[in-house]
Structure 1
Amino acid sequence: MMEVFEAFHLIRPFWLLAILPVVTLWYAIRPKDTRASETQNGVAPHLAAALEVGGGALRRIYPIDGVALLGILLASAAAGPTWSKLPNPLVAETAPLVVALKVTSSMETPDLAPSRLERAKYKILDLIEARAGARTALVAYAGTAHRVSPLTEDPKILRPLLQGLTPAVMPVDGDNAGNALQIALDILATAETPGAVLFALDDLNPADVDAMNARDEESPTPLVFLVAAPSGTNLPQLDKVQGATVVQITTDDSDLGAIERRVRSAHAAALAADDRLRWDDRGWWLAWPAALLCALWFRRGWTMRWVLALLTLSFIHTPTSARAGGWIDWFLTPDQQGRLAFEDKEFAEAGELFEDPLWKGYAKYKSGQYEEAIAIFARLDTAEAAFAQGMAEIKSRQYRPAVRSFETAQVRRPDFPEAARNREVAMAIVEYVETTREQSDTGEESGIGADDVVFDNEAARGAETQIEAPNEDAAPLTADQWIQSIDTDMGDFLRSRFLLDNAGDG
Structure 2
Amino acid sequence: MIIATLITLAAAGPTWSRAPNPLIADTAPLVIALKVTESMETTDLAPSRLDRAKFKIADLITERAGARTALIAYAGTPHRVAPLTEDANILRPLLEGLTPAVMPKQGDAAADALTLAQSILGESESPGAVLFVLDDLDPSQVPALSNSTHDLFFLTMLPDGDRIAQLGNVQGASTVAFTDDDRDISRLQRQIQSAYTAALDDDDRLDWQDKGWMLAWPAALLSLLWFRKGWVIRWALLALFVLPPSGARAEGWRDWFLTPDQQGQIAMNQKRFGDAAELFDDPYHKGYAYLKDGQYEQASEIFAGLNTAEAAFAEGMARIRNREYRPAIAAFETALERRPDWPEAQHNLEVSKAILDYVETTREQSDTGEEAGIGADDTVFDNDEARGSETTVQAPQDGPQTLNAEQWISTIDTDMQDFLRNRFLLENQERAE
| TM-score normalised by the chain length of structure 2 | 0.75
Choose from 54, 70, 76 the match for 1:137.
70
Distance in 1 between residues matched to 2:133 and 2:74, nearest whole Å: 10
Distance in 2 between residues matched to 1:202 and 1:365, nearest whole Å: 39
Corresponding residue for residue 147 of structure 1: 80
CA contact (8 A) 1:407 1:423 kept: no
Cα offset, 1:210, TM superposition: 1.9
Residues 47-446 of structure 1 correspond to what in structure 2 (within 5 A)? Answer: 68=3, 74-215=7-148, 220-231=149-160, 233-284=162-213, 302-303=228-229, 305=231, 309=235, 320-343=246-269, 344-345=272-273, 346-352=275-281, 354=282, 359=285, 362-363=288-289, 368-375=298-305, 377-378=306-307, 385-392=308-315, 395=318, 397=327, 399-400=329-330, 402-409=332-339, 419-426=342-349, 429=352
Name the Cα RMSD after superposition. 4.0
Residues 144 and 76 of structure 1, relative CA distance in 2, 3 Å threshold = same
For 1:265, what is the secondary structure of its paired residue? helix
Output one character per residue of 1:376-429: Cα deviation in whole Å (capped at 9) or x when no partner. Answer: x42xxxxxx43233322664626446434334335xxx8xxxx32213433675
Residue 498 of structure 1 pairs with residue 428 of structure 2: no
Report the residue type matching 1:228 in the other structure. M
Cα offset, 1:141, TM superposition: 1.0
Distance in 1 between residues matched to 2:408 and 2:8, nearest whole Å: 55
For 2:280, what is the secondary structure of its paired residue? helix
Distance in 2 between residues matched to 1:432 and 1:103, nearest whole Å: 30
Distance in 1 between residues matched to 2:368 and 2:163, nearest whole Å: 65
Distance in 2 between residues matched to 1:482 and 1:288, nearest whole Å: 59
Distance in 2 between residues matched to 1:312 and 1:116, nearest whole Å: 72
Cα offset, 1:364, TM superposition: 7.0
Residues 479-494 of structure 1 correspond to what in structure 2 (within 5 A)? Answer: 485-486=413-414, 488=415, 490-494=416-420
Residues 303 and 399 of structure 1, relative CA distance in 2, 3 Å threshold = farther
Cα offset, 1:455, TM superposition: 5.0
Cα offset, 1:373, TM superposition: 3.6
Distance in 2 between residues matched to 1:336 and 1:246, nearest whole Å: 37
**Bigger mean CA offset, 308-317 vs 86-95:** 308-317
Distance in 1 between residues matched to 2:172 and 2:25, nearest whole Å: 24
Name the larger-Rg structure: 1
Distance in 1 between residues matched to 2:9 and 2:244, nearest whole Å: 21
Residues 193 and 250 of structure 1, relative CA distance in 2, 3 Å threshold = same
Residues 465 and 161 of structure 1, relative CA distance in 2, 3 Å threshold = closer
For 1:231, what is the secondary structure of its paired residue? helix
Cα offset, 1:259, TM superposition: 1.0
Cα offset, 1:262, TM superposition: 1.6
**Bigger mean CA offset, 174-183 vs 115-124:** 115-124
Identity of aligned residues (%): 47
For 2:133, what is the secondary structure of its paired residue? strand
Unaligned runs of 5+ in 2: 320-326, 374-399
Residues 501 and 361 of structure 1, relative CA distance in 2, 3 Å threshold = closer
Distance in 1 between residues matched to 2:33 and 2:222, nearest whole Å: 53
For 2:180, what is the secondary structure of its paired residue? coil
Residues 482 and 271 of structure 1, relative CA distance in 2, 3 Å threshold = farther
Output one character per residue of 1:205-225: Cα deviation in whole Å (capped at 9) or x when no partner. Answer: 11112221333xxxx211101
CA contact (8 A) 1:365 1:392 kept: no
**Bigger mean CA offset, 366-375 vs 111-120:** 366-375
**Bigger mean CA offset, 320-329 vs 85-94:** 320-329
Distance in 1 between residues matched to 2:285 and 2:92, nearest whole Å: 36
Count the aligned residue pairs: 391
Distance in 1 between residues matched to 2:355 and 2:154, nearest whole Å: 42
CA contact (8 A) 2:278 2:286 kept: no
CA contact (8 A) 1:204 1:237 kept: yes
Residues 179 and 154 of structure 1, relative CA distance in 2, 3 Å threshold = same
| TM-score normalised by the chain length of structure 1 | 0.65
